């Protein structure tokens, strides 16, 4: 038996374990992000699921990259007030982004019978 054939299953297991840890980390970050989203009042303009509203744009699903939010949130000069790092630390902003990424897409309207009559 070749050594690399023996080690392959171990590499696969290590990858699976890493994936599971990342998924758990993502879930924890999303939960913290949801709490930060509510605490900082994001929901008031953007809706509880980031769906957007009268005063705020749609943020989820499929949010823009974290780099976009890092700049926009700090230097906004429109209707949204800027949030300094003192008010909204980078870690909290990252967890809010994780929350927005965790929001699933809604069903396709074609799959909703009431909308297709």
Per-residue H/E/C for 40-104:
CCHHHHHCCCCCCCCCCCCCCCCCCCHHHHHHHHHHCCCCCCCCCCCCCCHHHHHHHHHHHHHCC
Q: Mean pLDDT, the chain, as a whole number?
A: 85
Mean pLDDT score, 14-35 = 71
Q: What does the pLDDT look like over 72-114, one tens digit per residue?
A: 999 999 899 999 999 999 999 999 999 999 999 989 989 999 9
pTM, 2 dp: 0.74
How many domains would you assign to the chain?
1
CATH number, position 94: 1.10.760
Residues of the domain holding 105: 3-116
């Amino acid at each position: 038996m070749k050594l690399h054939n023996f080690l392959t299953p171990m590499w696969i297991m290590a990858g699976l374990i890493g994936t599971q840890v990342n998924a758990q980390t993502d879930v924890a970050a999303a939960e913290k992000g949801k709490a930060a989203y509510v605490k900082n009042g994001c929901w008031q303009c953007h809706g509880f699921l980031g769906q957007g509203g009268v005063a705020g744009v749609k943020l989820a699903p499929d949010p823009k990259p974290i780099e976009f939010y890092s700049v926009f949130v700090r230097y906004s000069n429109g209707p949204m007030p800027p949030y300094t790092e003192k008010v909204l630390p980078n870690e909290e902003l990252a967890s809010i982004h994780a929350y927005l990424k965790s929001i699933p897409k809604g069903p396709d309207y074609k799959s909703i019978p009431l909308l297709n009559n």
